[in-house]
Amino acid sequence: MKPVFNLIISLFICQTCLAQKFVYQDYTWDKTPVAYKPAANDTNTEVILFDKIAYQVSVENSSGYEYFLRHKATYVNSDQAVERNNKVYLPVNINSDFNKIHVRVMKSNGEIIEMNEKDIKEAVDEDSKRKYKYLAVRGLVPGSVVELISTYKSSSDFTGKRFVLQSEYPAKNCSFELIYPDHLVIDTKSFNGFPNLEKDTSYLADGLKCLKASASYIPALKSEKYSNRTEHIQAVAYKLTGNLNTRRLNINSYDKLADIFFNNMNLAPSKAELKSLEKFLAASGVNNLKNEEEKIRKLEDYVKKTIFHSDQIPAYSSTIDQLIEQKAGSEADITRLFVAAFNMLNIEHEILVTCNRYDAYFVKDYEGLNYLDNFFLYFPKYNKYLAPSFVLYRYGLMPYQYRNHYGLFVKKTSLGNLTTGLGEVRFIDTDTYLDNNDSIYVQVDFSKSMEMPEYKFRLTFAGHEASSVQSVFDFIKEEKQKDELRRELLKTFSDEAELENLKSENEGTAYFAKKPLILSASFKSGKYMDKAGSKYIFKIGDLIGPQEQMYQEEARKLPIEMNYCKNYFRTITFKIPAGYKLTNADKINMDVFHNDEKGNRDMAFKSWYVTKNDEITVYVEEYYKTINLPVSEYENFKNVINAAADFNKIALLFEPK
Amino acid sequence: MTRFTCLFFAVVFSVINLLYAQPKAEFELIHNKHPEQIAVFTDIHETVNISVLEGKLNIKRRVEKNLMLLDDRAAVFSEGSVAYSSLIYLNKIEASTLYPAEKKYKEIKVTEFKDKDDLSGGIFHDDVKVKKFNFPSLVKGAIRKVVLNFEVRDPYMLTPFHIQEGLPVENTELTIVCDEGVELGYKIFNGSKADIAFTTRKESGKTIYSWKAKNVEKYESEDNAPDELYYAPHIIYYIKNYKLNGEKKRVLESLDDLHAYYNKLIENLNTDTKSEIKTFVDSLVKDLSADEAKIKAIYYWVKDNIKYIAFESGYEGFIPRQSIDVFNKRYGDCKDMSSIITDMLKYAGIESYLTWIGSREIPYKYTENHTMNTDNHMIAAVKLNGNYIFLDATAPHTPFGYPSSFIQGKEAMINISKDKYELVTVPVVEASKNMIKDSVYIEMTKDFKIIGDGVVSYSGYERDNILYRLNDSSKEKRQSILRSYFQKGSNKFYLDFFEEKNITNRDEDYVINYRFNISDYVLSSDNEIFVNLNLDKIYDKSSIDKSRKSDFEYSYKRKFYNIVVFRIPDGYELNYLPSDNKYSDENLSVEFSYKIDGNKITLKTIIEFKYLILEKKNFENWNNFVALLKKNYSESISLKKKV
């Protein structure tokens, strides 16, 4: 069960229909396994020769079930491919005779090895209610084909599934079937080029319907730098939407779910809950505040610093007073506490349910339940978000993994006395490039030593650039550890030099998404100076820290997607050392950019310098105003990314006058 | 590695009359003492009862641990879990929160415990289960209490008692109560790190041993440090013997007993003649006459064909499988690989031996600790030209003659026969046998780009490492991995071409011939160019922090041998050449030397690490060595245009 759902999602199932037999109950493999001889120039170490997947939805004794069949044959041709394929796991969530694994291996010499019952082990996790059957495949060697049939029966809430058909290895002859009683209405969607499921009438028994799609070849899809593989992977999704027998339609629709979420979160608090909540709010310190946003921040900080979010605790398992008393709860219960508190404080908010876009990319035209993973709160008046289960995040900054795709927003709506939740699928925009900043200000002093100059560094981190560290300071108690963390952040620049005047500003959750984290220190280091006789080479480019580069990449397949928009700003100031001249300052000037369709810069790297007497100030500006570009723009994108890495190579030459 | 290690469960604790203590006063006392700690163990008490019941040893372990929470976010300690197995069985578990009420603690019991089969880690199948639960109502000042009752079902499998924990401990105690006639042995390791008070007394015919310590600091682990067992105080205890009907029964009086116990576990191993394996071995070695060639052929066949999959349920974790099963299944764990190697060698007419050994995480020698805590691994040993060669098929790429790196320097117990064993120290492989040797020839183009040809070879464990990383990657992927492996000059290093040799031939170094170019590396002014010939600045960021407490451990000794030959471009002449430099001590050595030969300048850099453990006393030398590296790495040559 996902952290956002509870049993309130009912099955809407007709109680009178008869159990259907699993159409693949007696499915078995051909007597002779498929042999495979790769072409001489084929360098694939693993090829899926066929992959047949079938789900059958069934109603038995008014409970929902799902039968599953997978029949897959994989050619393995390396030690690592053997290691990837010599262990088989089958999740089984109920006991059933249908839970079966059959595995056989055909070696290149035609020898066949079949696994038996004795090979199968079982494991149980009472907490997640998961159970596995698993086995190790005997006799598998490179050049073999391993063939697997697995079937299982599981209970189903008919909320549907998303099944990924594409992997890191090429696949031939893939098919996906969905079989269900013909009084049910099922909604399906195929993604990224996998064919749409269509009605197949070839073999069906009475009262059953089948939807099917096949692909003769699905290429391998690997993840790439700056991309979102999930968004582009071939997959199929389905869910129950109606029952003709009961004439109920729009089952599992977002309209219905929005209302359920709303009601779950807005359950009228009991007396005990109200009392406990009032006390909790008083203790949090919100009652003394006037400003609404300050109230939100104060309450959030108090909740996240006193109540522990635990994945081990089931959703909707405690009342508000119990949660406050127990100090630990599920995401759903913590969200409910927030909602009740904001209701009590009269702060307008919407409930947002979405998922990590790198796990399942939320699209607008399919109301999949697989997108509904995590709760957030949205404050329309301020256009800001709060992430209840992310302990290091604070109001104003939502984890970027959950933005840049869609989400289900649920807001309160009243009709007369009736208050319900109204759902709307809206895009969750990324923050702007100005929100996420990383800046470096350096002053270099050569006056005391050319070999070991003194560097004064000031680093600032804002938005997502600070999100992994700014809050952490509040959760570390030992001063020694805090100091280590500060040093770690400066280490990229200071290398192993002794830091002096180490200072830090705006540490902790109170500043998160409000003010940048600032660190400053000075140190003496030879790291940025090379020597050749009487001349010095000042590796000024290295002062901005090592930059991401994409100089030599494999052929690109996926469009570009970055985590978030951002900007970097750096200044480096130094005086030309007395007795030396600088002849190659012009190397500093760089200007590389990408234009959007309107001809405006949306990504850029620019560096330049200003001279005043003997003092030189170098400016570097880099920004990404957008995070998505088509694959056709890949070369231009790479140029901007590489420009920063090219800046790293800039070295200035100080020659004696 | 077997799951022996799984048996060292987190050790546990206990408090007396805590329920009637004054919570507020108690909290303040502890908090004032540890103002920066988030939690402190107030009491840990382990009681082991060893009795003789119905003709058998009966061993019960009661572990009580009380953890006081000192931070507002006390609830981060909500999740509790305890691991156990069929051999060290958890009979009973109690957990509760002692909630700090006004006058006394209110005990809130945990009511729900859930079992989970542990599928994590490198073991494919075992019987380790995890009991999971949640402590309710954890607040600042609350005490998290656990009481565990284990039944130790094999008297050889007593777990060590750890004095030190990851959090400070106020009071800790181990009590062992032995029936009359049970003789106990014990040994304290790293005892000087804590003030341990030991007492022994007799009570109603029983002997009671007790070890107590107070105010124990928390154990702080550091990166690349030897295992905590090397530093943290702990007690190893074992049953020497017991009396049954007046007759003395030996358990672990001496190492002979451990050997005898292990022998029982292997007494039925590979006793039949298996024609299938015999036929196979005959064909494998039929053209080979020298013993070494035969051993190698068999050893490499096992490495190539038996994949590591470990089944370790109960005694499966200790008893090797029959070689014919391993042969047919094509998988096994360390014991199974040792079983098939020794059996195949037998058919080749070569005597070899099953061998028990502890990996380097375990500090003990058999002679100082003759319990099962000393080993966690099994290999095979064979005598060749008077010396033992250790065969560990769990490391797939290592050449014949190399032990796996994690058993170097460890004492092995070689099973010669039912009544005979030998203790032999596994050799440590010399640095020069784990070498990366890289030679490049570079030139500068007219537009100041560096182009070059190189050949690099990896031997020993270095060969292992890189091939493990490359595994079955595609050509394109290999290019990108190799590019990161031998990037030179800067990250603008383009690998234009590469060709690999000896990927599968373990007896030869893994060799790559390659061609590359580096843009923006040469610095030029009007009539001069500067080139830093230190294309590989290895170990330039490896200074050791002064505050480090533990020694520094590395997996193996190693050597780097780099040669860069630079052709002076036509029209230029040498203007400046950096000076040579070298340093050497018993752990490290480095040498930078420049040579001019006609229009070629050669920089030779040799760096050797001759330690497995760099002791703290040598850190200063190490840091001086890093400083020397940095200084030399910052030197460029300069070339002037000829006039």
CA separation for the pair A240, B66 (Å, rounded):
51
* B49: nearest Cα among B236, B174, B160: B174
Q: Which tokens sit at A617? A: 């100030």
User: Would you tell me the crossing angle of helices A254-265 and A331-344 to the nearest 10 degrees?
Assistant: 70
B519 contacts in A (CB within 8 Å)? 649
Nearest to A125 among B75, B117, B476 (CB): B117
A306 contacts in B (CB within 8 Å)? 72-73, 75
User: Would you tell me the crossing angle of helices A292-306 and A331-344 to the nearest 10 degrees?
Assistant: 150
Could you tell me which chain B residue has the CA closest to the CA of A479? B36
Question: Is B490's CB within 8 Å of A305's CB?
Answer: no
Nearest to A533 among B305, B477, B576 (CB): B576
Average pLDDT, chain A: 91
Question: Is A138's CB within 8 Å of B329's CB?
Answer: yes
Pinpoint the alpha helices (H) of A307-391.
Answer: 320-326, 331-344
Nearest to B305 among A127, A141, A649 (CB): A141
Model confidence at A10, pLDDT cuts 50, 70, 90, reads very low
What per-residue string of b and e applies to B316-349 under the rule 16 or more CB within 10 Å gives b?
bbbbbbbbbebbebbbbbbbbbbbbbbbbbbbbe
Nearest to B472 among A80, A138, A646 (CB): A80
A551 contacts in B (CB within 8 Å)? 491-494
Nearest to A126 among B116, B330, B491 (CB): B116
Q: Could you list the beta-strand ranges (E) of A551-651.
A: 560-561, 566-575, 580-582, 590-595, 601-612, 615-624, 628-629
CA distance A477 to chain B (A): 5
Tens of pLDDT along A434-477? 999 999 999 999 999 999 999 999 999 999 999 989 999 998 98
**What's the confidence (pLDDT) of residue A591?**
98
Question: Is A532's CB within 8 Å of B74's CB?
Answer: no
Nearest to B78 among A308, A546, A653 (CB): A308
Question: Is A327's CB within 8 Å of B329's CB?
Answer: no
CA distance B426 to chain A (A): 29
* Mean pLDDT confidence for B57-83: 93
CA distance A573 to chain B (A): 21
* B303: nearest Cα among B543, B476, B506, B153: B506
CA A571 to each of CA A540, A542, B373, B544: distance values in angstroms, whole numbers, following the listed order = 11, 13, 58, 31
CA distance A5 to chain B (A): 21
Question: Is B307's CB within 8 Å of A79's CB?
Answer: yes
Nearest to A310 among B79, B329, B532 (CB): B79
Question: Is A645's CB within 8 Å of B492's CB?
Answer: yes
Q: Other CB atoms closer than 10 Å to residue A495's CB: what's the count?
A: 16
Average pLDDT, chain B: 92
CA separation for the pair A432, A463 (Å, rounded):
10
B494 contacts in A (CB within 8 Å)? 551-552
**What's the confidence (pLDDT) of residue A20?**
66
Cβ–Cβ < 8 Å for B634, B579 = no
Binning chain B into helix, strand and coil, the percentages to the nearest 5 are 20, 40, 40
A to B CB pairs, distance under 8 Å? 174
Which candidate in A326, A391, A638 is best for mutational testing of the B interface (most B CBs within 10 A)? A326
Amino acid code (one letter) for A360:
A
Tens of pLDDT along A484-522? 999 999 988 888 788 999 999 999 999 999 999 999 999
Residues 6 or more apart in contact with residue B245 via CB below 8 angstroms: none
- Pairing status of strand B196-203 against strand B129-134: unpaired
CA separation for the pair A505, A520 (Å, rounded):
9
pLDDT value at A1 more than 60: no
Q: Which tokens sit at A152? A: 């299982």
* Mean pLDDT confidence for A125-149: 87
CA separation for the pair A566, A644 (Å, rounded):
14
B471 contacts in A (CB within 8 Å)? 78-80
Nearest to B492 among A121, A325, A649 (CB): A649
* A261: nearest Cα among A336, A363, A342, A161: A336
B311 contacts in A (CB within 8 Å)? 136
Cβ–Cβ < 8 Å for B583, B643 = no
| Of the listed ranges A1-5, B112-116, B456-460, the one predicted with least confidence | A1-5
Q: Which tokens sit at A376? A: 């957030």
Model confidence at A146, pLDDT cuts 50, 70, 90, reads very high
CA separation for the pair B50, B207 (Å, rounded):
10
CA separation for the pair A254, A366 (Å, rounded):
10
Could you tell me which chain A residue has the CA closest to the CA of B220? A481
* Mean pLDDT confidence for B100-113: 93
Cβ–Cβ < 8 Å for B605, B592 = yes
pLDDT value at B3 more than 50: no
Using DSSP, state whether A85 is helix, strand or coil: helix
* Mean pLDDT confidence for A528-554: 92
B480 contacts in A (CB within 8 Å)? 552-554
Amino acid code (one letter) for B509:
D
Q: What are phi and psi of A18, to 5 degrees?
A: -95, 150
B636 contacts in A (CB within 8 Å)? 530-532, 537
Question: Is B138's CB within 8 Å of A653's CB?
Answer: no
Using DSSP, state whether A55 is helix, strand or coil: strand
Question: Is B541's CB within 8 Å of A495's CB?
Answer: yes
Question: Is A653's CB within 8 Å of B543's CB?
Answer: no
pLDDT value at B331 more than 60: yes
Question: Is A477's CB within 8 Å of B74's CB?
Answer: no
Is the C-alpha dihedral spanning A597, A599, A604, A605 positive or negative? Answer: positive
Cβ–Cβ < 8 Å for A649, B520 = yes
- Pairing status of strand A308-309 against strand A328-329: parallel
Higher pLDDT, A156 or A399: A399
Q: Other CB atoms closer than 10 Å to residue A37's CB: what's the count?
A: 9
Tens of pLDDT along A328-372? 899 999 999 999 999 999 999 999 999 999 999 999 989 988 899
- Pairing status of strand B88-100 against strand A100-106: unpaired
Which candidate in A46, A84, A125, A581 is best for mutational testing of the B interface (most B CBs within 10 A)? A125
CA distance A599 to chain B (A): 30
**What's the confidence (pLDDT) of residue A204?**
67
Amino acid code (one letter) for B451:
I
pLDDT value at B1 more than 60: no
Tens of pLDDT along B533-590? 999 999 988 899 888 999 999 999 999 999 999 999 999 999 999 999 999 999 999 9
Q: What are phi and psi of A556, to 5 degrees?
A: -85, 135
CA separation for the pair A327, B62 (Å, rounded):
29
Amino acid code (one letter) for A387:
A
> CA B479 from chain center: how many Å?
30
Nearest to A477 among B36, B115, B471 (CB): B36
Model confidence at B302, pLDDT cuts 50, 70, 90, reads very high
What per-residue string of b and e applies to A595-613 under the rule 16 or more CB within 10 Å gives b?
eeeeeeebbbbbbebeeee
CA distance A474 to chain B (A): 11
Cβ–Cβ < 8 Å for B53, B120 = no
* Mean pLDDT confidence for B220-243: 95
Question: Is A86's CB within 8 Å of B532's CB?
Answer: no
**What's the confidence (pLDDT) of residue A6?**
55
CA distance B635 to chain A (A): 5
Cβ–Cβ < 8 Å for A475, B73 = yes
Nearest to B638 among A45, A136, A532 (CB): A532
Residues 6 or more apart in contact with residue A169 via CB below 8 angstroms: A44, A46, A47, A48, A74, A220
**What's the confidence (pLDDT) of residue B8?**
32
Which candidate in B480, B492, B523 is best for mutational testing of the A interface (most A CBs within 10 A)? B523
Question: Is A326's CB within 8 Å of B137's CB?
Answer: yes
Model confidence at B5, pLDDT cuts 50, 70, 90, reads very low
pLDDT value at A3 more than 80: no
**What's the confidence (pLDDT) of residue A7?**
42
Question: Is B73's CB within 8 Å of A127's CB?
Answer: no
Q: What are phi and psi of B232, to 5 degrees?
A: -80, 140
Environment class of B120 (CB within 10 Å of its CB; exposed 0-12, middle 13-18, buried 19+): exposed
CA distance B189 to chain A (A): 29
Provide the greatest CA pair distance for chain A. 99
What per-residue string of b and e applies to A83-120 under the rule 16 or more CB within 10 Å gives b?
bbbbbbebebbeebebbbbbbbbbeeeeeebebeeebb
ipTM, 2 dp: 0.86
Nearest to A310 among B74, B125, B134 (CB): B134
Question: Is B37's CB within 8 Å of A555's CB?
Answer: no
pTM of the predicted protein model: 0.89
Q: Other CB atoms closer than 10 Å to residue A516's CB: what's the count?
A: 19
Nearest to A532 among B75, B79, B576 (CB): B576
pLDDT value at A524 more than 90: yes
- Give, in degrees to the nearest 5, the angle at Cα B381 between B375 and B386: 130
DSSP tag of A435: T
Residue length of chain B: 643
DSSP bridge pairs for A218: A171
Model confidence at A611, pLDDT cuts 50, 70, 90, reads very high
Q: Please state, for a pLDDT cut of 90, what percent of chain B lies above it.
A: 84
Model confidence at A220, pLDDT cuts 50, 70, 90, reads very high
A648 contacts in B (CB within 8 Å)? 490-491
